Every structure is written in C-alpha cells, then in structure tokens.
C-alpha cells in the first residue's frame, strides 16, 4: 500500500498545476462578471 502515498510527480509539477488552476478560475470568474454586466446592460435596452 506504500505506492498510494508516494508522489509520482515532482514538486514543480504540483506548483504548475496550482498556477494553472488559479488562472483558469480567475478567467472563469472574470467571464462570469462580464456576462452579468453585459446581461444587465442588454436588459436595459430591450424593447418592452
């Protein structure tokens, strides 16, 4: 059972994956905020 707890990749790979995950999360958050602002502006100009 020792193979379960052994790390297969180096520390550099773990740091890289954390950085990639943070960048993806930031991009998704900014996209969500932009979508909400754009939707609010479009609702303002909709024909009633």
Show the 3-state SS of the chain: CHHHHCCCCCHHHHHHHHHHHHHHHHHHHHHHHHHHHHHHHHHHCCCC
Give the chain's end-to-end CA distance (angstroms, integer).
Answer: 66
| pTM for the structure as a whole | 0.67
Structure confidence at residue 42 (pLDDT): 83
pLDDT tens per residue, range 1-48: 676 777 777 778 888 999 999 999 999 999 999 999 998 888 887 765
């Amino acid at each position: 059972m020792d193979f379960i707890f052994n790390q297969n990749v180096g520390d550099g790979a773990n740091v890289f994956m954390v950085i990639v995950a943070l960048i993806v999360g930031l991009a998704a958050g900014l996209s969500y905020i932009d979508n909400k602002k754009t939707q609010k502006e479009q609702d303002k100009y909709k024909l009633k």
